[in-house]
Structure 1
């Protein structure tokens, strides 16, 4: 099972990006530093072709730097990709963007030939906050929920640097179930499209395996059960997520945990590594190949049945034709 969310305006946004991609010199892709791969849009990679991309790993203050370094090493050496940890709240980071963009597009940058950059990214990664920080004024609506931006804006940063904003888009089908849950845990998927308890349990499973100290410290636990459901019950009981009679309200407990994860109260973390993603992609491809083989097998098995039906229909038509011929001959007599 995976989490899916693809509002209608996102399909329109895809068409708009495709139309303007030929007009831009560089894509500034804002990623969530906590999910560097899952917050990429594979559809955007396809649409941009050989247009260079500056990947800003936003919310770096919420990310585990040691794991973030693995991603920077992973992308290093790719001539069309430049990646940097980033925070829209860090003025020094914002000031470096013009330098990074010029590094990728050295042949433009004058008033006559300004660098035309398109800001893109999935929902809730901080695109609007980036635009406001770059321009030094509030020009883009900012919200804690995904998909706040729903139309394109073209704005001038300097005489040699222009921005084209685009709505945050997910892709129609998230093929990797694990990635879909990471998107939900970090808040890229609208809360109305997810089951809080289901997503919280997926998040807890990850933290138990990779950041157990963060859990024990945040919730002041001496021991930690191995079952995510039991951990969620403990969190609920400690944080007052209780119903009448002292029973834990699992939905409220899930809200408490996910809020701690999304705001960084639980501590810095990164939910994926390049090696993990490579393994998951192999599993996805294997699952797709298996599904296709099963489909082909069903088609092959159906052929004899179809042929039998065709043969039967043919015999019936021939029998009917014979009866009609005999009837015609009797009429002639």
Structure 2
């Protein structure tokens, strides 16, 4: 299966990042805690190699707590600040604000040593589509300063937002990279919705998801959710979901598209449990 989605506005976004990187002191990179490697744009490491970095492992409430700890340690070992965050829970806002302040501390102290007080820290927030970046910004602003939605690629242009703590934040649209060399990573992006469902064959994606869950030893999460048997092969699971839910077309064929939407949406909403699809030790890229 060949998976690629790189609309024209993403090329423009990469140009925008390159043009504005000199204006900022710190880069806040939002990634999906369920797929921390796959949701991390590999172009960012070269683009931001000279900048202080804060990694926000967003949606950690949907991911495996034990594996979250592994990813925290992994990214800290690279010299980056890390925070686990749930952008849909405003009660966690102080934790994020504290993480930004801590990541900026060295920069503030450097300004103070030069006699520069109350200098505004400029931060850029980046991430691939649909990792919850805009919802995170709205929480920081405590108002609807950034458009949000559950469709990847909704933020179209850059905007500066002033935050408490004397921080100016540059928001940027979500950006993928032109070619997915890592096929496993590309599939992970489809599972979480980082690539628009409209450009995918969801029936095949759902089957790949079942295969992934079997491979990880997590298939019982599907069987228990829908109260079905596994069968002899991965496709049997989709068939059994359809039978249980009555997803049968008038000609008595199985409505695999409806099954695919149900299964993937339930995973994305955390209805299959707290699941992380990759660990630092089993990923191709970092």
Alignment of 1:212-227 (within 5 A): 212-221=219-228, 223-227=229-233
**Cα RMSD between the aligned structures?**
1.8
Runs of 5+ consecutive residues of structure 1 not aligned to the other structure: 283-333
1:2·1:176 contact (CA, 8 Å) conserved in 2? Answer: no
Closer/same/farther in 2, CA of residues 111 and 225 from structure 1, 3 Å limit: farther
Runs of 5+ consecutive residues of structure 2 not aligned to the other structure: 110-115
Q: Secondary structure at the match of 1:155?
A: strand
Alignment of 1:37-52 (within 5 A): 37-52=37-52
1:2·1:178 contact (CA, 8 Å) conserved in 2? Answer: no
> Who is 2:184 aligned against?
178
- Kindly indicate which of the two structures has a greater share of residues assigned to helix: 1
Q: Which of the numbers 112, 117, 120 marks the counterpart of 1:114?
A: 120
> Who is 2:112 aligned against?
none
Tell me, in whole angstroms, the C-alpha distance in 2 between the residues paired with 1:105 and 1:71. 21
1:184-239 residue CA offsets vs partner (Å, 9 max, x unmatched): 01100011111101111111111122212211210112x31352211111112212
> Who is 1:166 aligned against?
172
> Who is 1:69 aligned against?
69
> Who is 1:25 aligned against?
25
Q: Give the C-alpha shift of residue 61 in structure 1.
A: 1.3
Alignment of 1:1-333 (within 5 A): 1-79=1-79, 81-106=80-105, 107-108=107-108, 112-158=118-164, 160-210=166-216, 211-221=218-228, 223-277=229-283, 280-281=284-285
Tell me, in whole angstroms, the C-alpha distance in 1 between the residues paired with 2:162 and 2:21. 18
Q: Secondary structure at the match of 2:108?
A: coil
TM-score (norm 2): 0.92
2:85·2:96 contact (CA, 8 Å) conserved in 1? Answer: no
Tell me, in whole angstroms, the C-alpha distance in 2 between the residues paired with 1:170 and 1:244. 39
TM-score (norm 1): 0.80
1:125-178 residue CA offsets vs partner (Å, 9 max, x unmatched): 111101110000001111111000010010101251111000000000011011
After the TM superposition, which of the residue ranges 36-45 and 99-108 deviates more from structure 2?
99-108
Tell me, in whole angstroms, the C-alpha distance in 2 between the residues paired with 1:91 and 1:228. 39
What is the count of residue pairs matched by the alignment? Answer: 278
